[in-house]
A = this chain, B = another copy of it.
Amino acid sequence: MVTTSATPLLPGDPYQADCPTRRILDRIGDRWTVLVIGVLDHGDARFSELRRRIAGVSQKMLTQTLRGLERDGLVRRTVYPEVPVRVVYGLTEAGRTLQEPLRALQQWSIEHLGDVSASQQAYDLRD
């Protein structure tokens, strides 16, 4: 992709409110979004299935998270007007591409969170 935009996105200047890094973190930084994407990456799922598989999520937060992802075009919501109604969620193409950078982040976590925990312990034992 080309960055021909009027705002040249200086690589070292991400401290504006509308910078891409800020926006993506606002998108995925909450408690449930990445978990929903993670589950849906295994395949489509109904609302109740998502709720079961994501331990601890409330109905309100799951709905809210799914609405946000749908609004952003990362998740597709399909309603089958049966009785009772069946609603199936799935990742869009855009949603699927997000998994790659998320996995990079997860990989960093796996490699470094041991050191991070050790550093925290050392820090807390100071003085």
Instruction: Show the binding face of A for B, using Cβ within 8 Å.
Output: 1, 3, 9, 12, 14-17, 20-25, 27-31, 34-35, 38-39, 41-42, 53-56, 70-74, 94, 97-98, 100-102, 104-116, 118-120, 123-124
Residues A25 and B28 in contact in the complex (CB < 8 Å), given A70-B123, A101-B104, A105-B105? yes
Q: Chain A interface secondary structure, helix, strand, loop or mixed?
A: helix
State whether A116 touches B101 (Cβ < 8 A): no
Assembly CA distance A112 to B2 (angstroms) = 10
Copy total for this chain: 2
Task: Look across to chain B and name the residue whose beta carbon is closest to the beta carbon of A110.
Answer: B20
Residues of B within 8 A of A115 (CB): 1, 73, 94
Q: A25-B28, A123-B71 are in contact. Are A110 and B9 (CB under 8 A)?
A: yes
Separation of A39 and B21 alpha carbons in the complex (Å): 13
Measured CB to CB, the closest approach of chain B to A90, in angstroms, equals: 15
CB neighbours of A55 from chain B (8 A): 15-16
